[in-house]
Amino acid sequence: MAHGAGGKASRKLVEGLFAPLLFGPAPGPLGDAAQVDIDGTRVAITTDSFVVKPLTFPGGSIGELAVNGTVNDLAVSGARAEGLVVSYVLEAGLPTEVLEAEVRAMAKAARDAGVRIAAGDTKVVEHGKADQMYVTTTGIGRLLHGVTIDPRSVRVGDRILLSGPIGDHGITILLARGELDLEADLRSDTRSVLPLVEALIRAAGPGIRWMRDPTRGGAATSLNELARDCGLGMVLFEDQIPVRDTVRGACELLGLDPLHIANEGQFLAVLSPEYADAAVHALSLAPGGGEAQVIGEVREQPAGTVLVTTLYGGSRIVDMLVGDPLPRIC
């Protein structure tokens, strides 16, 4: 199965197999978290598995991803994570120090994110069956007031906002695998985006239509999903998309598009135009939001598609990731 990288194949699996069988009839557009009604109170709930290899890399490790990833899924769904439960699948023979390091990393990440890890479970499988460790986190959160996330509320003229530079995490992982003879001063951007999301909601809540954290498959995949869900066109201005020079260089060397690379500490938001300036301003004042930018806008055409335009009038369509990001050589 080539369905793991987060692009078209993953989506087909979720929409074609899981959704109809598990989620019941017509669940609506699939988001990063779901809402459940408990005696009249709506809570948000989400889950995610982390299978990154290598386990540790510049800027973080699997444990941190597991905490921040779920906190972020809740944040971009308009919820503040209140509690996480974690499940480990461990490969027999995994050194205790490695496990302990990850558990410590998770505890720290949870403290930094202001979320409680309430419970956990562990299973051990035979050697060779779990590639050291897999981690799954499930998070429950309270809905934040003042914001409603709905792709169907997106309108022509809305602005597309990005919280910071893209590509850091995916390229860091590629380099950390050591299969490439590349070195760069690059770190994963893994962090909780909840503080930035809360700042955004305070400044521009009524104007927020949609948010997402562009993990596997990158910003292109998230925006393609939105374009498809709302039937409008996402037009991005290439020169306004923040990308670090080293990420750009690595992508050039490998023939990759930064828009397809995974991020673990950024989010996209679509806002009505009246709130766009206030939003960027609020983010720029918040810690870690200094590189937030409007990167594009919603247009009627090309419908259901993401288009990237260049300063001199050229443009190209950016599709969802197909298969894995295989570097282009020839």
Partner 1 sequence: MCLAIPGKIVEISSDNQDSALVDVVGVRRRIDLGLLQDDKPAPGDWVLIHVGFAMSKISEQDAADQMSTLRMLGEIDGAMQEVQGYGLEDVN
Partner 2 sequence: MRFVDEFREPELISKTADQIRRLAGTERHYRMMEVCGGHTHAIYRFGLKDILPDNIELIHGPGCPVCVLPMGRIDDGLSIAQQPDVIFAAFGDMMRVPGTQGSPLEHKARGMDVRIVYSPSDALKLARLNPDKHVMFFAIGFETTAPSTALTMMRAKAEGVRNFSVFCNHVTIIPAIRAILDSPDMRLDAFIGPGHVSTVIGCRPYEWIARNERKPIVVSGFEPLDMLQSIVMLLRQLKAGEAKVENQYKRVVPWEGNRAALRAMAEVFQLRPYFEWRGLGFISQSALRINDRYAEWDAEQRFAVPGIRVTDPKAAQCGEVLKGVLQPHQCKLFGRECTPEHPIGALMVSSEGSCAAYHNYEYRKAAMVSLSSIA
Q: Which residues are paired to 297 by β-bridges?
A: 159, 235
- Each residue 165-204 as x (binds partner 2 by CB under 8 A) or -, in order, gives --------------xxx-----------------------
Q: Does 317 bind partner 2 (CB under 8 A)?
A: yes
Binding-site member from 37, 39, 97, 245 for partner 1 (CB under 8 A): 245
Residue 205 main-chain phi, psi, to 5 deg: -40, -55
Q: How far is the CB of 141 from partner 2 (least distance, A)?
A: 34
Q: How big is the site for partner 1, counted in residues (CB under 8 A)?
A: 17
> For residue 168, what are its two tokens?
């850091």
Site map 19..58 versus partner 1, x via CB under 8 A: ----------------------------------------
**Least distance to partner 2, CB of residue 35, Å:** 32
**Token pair 């998070």 is at which residue?**
139
Give the footprint of partner 1 on residues 277-316 (CB under 8 A): none
Task: Work out the number of other CB atoms within 10 angstroms of the CB of residue 41.
Answer: 9
Going by C-beta distance under 8 Å and a sequence separation of 6 or more, which residues neighbour residue 324?
Answer: 2, 5
Taking the complex as a whole, the smallest distance from the CB of residue 174 to partner 1 amounts, in Å, to 11
For 170, the token pair is 């995916």
Report which DSSP code applies to 231: T
Closest CB to partner 2 among 286 and 294? 294
Q: Give the dihedral sign, CA 126/131/132/135.
A: negative
Residue 187 contact partner, candidates partner 2, partner 1, none, CB within 5 to 8 A by sort of partner: none
Check binding of 101 to partner 2 (CB under 8 A): no
Structure tokens at 241: 């998309």
Report the phi/psi class of residue 209: left, alpha or beta, with left for phi > 0 and alpha for psi in -120 to 50. alpha
Q: Using only the alpha carbons of the chain, give its radius of gyration.
A: 19
Q: Which one, 9 or 193, has the nearer CB to partner 2?
A: 9
Nearer to partner 1, 167 or 214 (CB): 167
Contact criterion met (CB below 8 Å) for 276 and 294: yes
Binding mask 231-250 for partner 2 (x = CB under 8 A): --x-x-x--x----------
Amino acid found at 292: A
Q: Any contact of residue 305 with partner 2 (CB under 8 A)?
A: yes
Q: Which is nearer to partner 2, 3 or 281 (CB)?
A: 3
Q: At what angle do helices 62-75 and 96-113 cross, to 10 degrees?
A: 30
Structure tokens at 94: 């995994």
Closest to partner 2 by CB, 11 or 169: 11
Q: Please report how close the Cβ of residue 294 comes to partner 1 at its closest, in angstroms.
A: 25
Query: In Å, how far are 112, 217, 278 from 75, measured between CA atoms?
Result: 15, 19, 19
Alpha carbons 196 and 283: distance in angstroms, whole number: 6
Q: Helix or strand or coil: residue 56?
A: strand
Minimum distance of partner 1 from residue 189's CB (angstroms):
16
Which residues sit at the interface with partner 1, rule CB under 8 A?
180-185, 245-246, 248-250, 252-253, 255, 328-330
Which residues sit at the interface with partner 2, rule CB under 8 A?
1-2, 8-9, 179-181, 233, 235, 237, 240, 252, 254-255, 299, 301-303, 305, 307, 309-319, 322-323, 326-330
